[in-house]
Homo-oligomer: A and B are copies of this chain.
């Protein structure tokens, strides 16, 4: 191995989190390489980002598979074939099945635009606005079979203002997403994450507290 962590990215949308990972690799702050981008949509903006950076892209259309398990069995095969060590869900709009999780236990990361366990599922930002919270945020977590329920790696908070719209709050949260997702991947690449039960132990956390939870 080159020492670089081999990442596989799954994305359905514009892929701005995918871009932040690419940028962190380019700048040298993340010792990793993206082995493949898998999308479920032919018009995902993430595809252009892959092309722009010479990253292999694979389209796996959901409708070409008979069920969720067969979809993710195939995804797992493609990832393993490319020796992917860590799978990143960067705005991938499908709930991952057990077949992929079993191949990558505690090696699939997702980012969710809410301070979990508050507001799981779709539209975390608008759920937060409707509830009327004063702090919103985002969460990077390992993926288990639940909906946004896996062990939490990093969270970041942002203020929510009474005159926020879904767009203004989402933009504020997205800035933090672009910061903590690469950070979580870096911690993984440095071998500093250990999952025990529901807890993610982070080696050097206290010494490095400012880094881990800069928002707090």
Q: Interface of A with B (CB < 8 Å)?
A: 115-119, 130-135, 137, 139, 151-159, 161-163, 197-202, 205-206, 209, 212-213, 215-216
Tell me the number of copies of this protein. Answer: 2
Q: Of all chain B residues, which has the CB nearest A202?
A: B162
Specify which chain B residues have a CB less than 8 angstroms from the CB of A209 in the assembled complex: 159, 161
A-B contact pairs, 21 of them (CB 8 A): A115-B115, A115-B133, A115-B157, A116-B118, A131-B152, A131-B198, A133-B152, A133-B155, A134-B153, A134-B155, A134-B200, A134-B212, A135-B213, A135-B215, A135-B216, A137-B157, A157-B157, A159-B212, A161-B209, A162-B201, A162-B205
Chain B proximity of A162: nearest CB distance (Å): 4
- Known A115-B115, A163-B206: A134·B213 in contact at CB below 8 Å: yes
- Known A200-B162, A209-B161: A135·B155 in contact at CB below 8 Å: yes
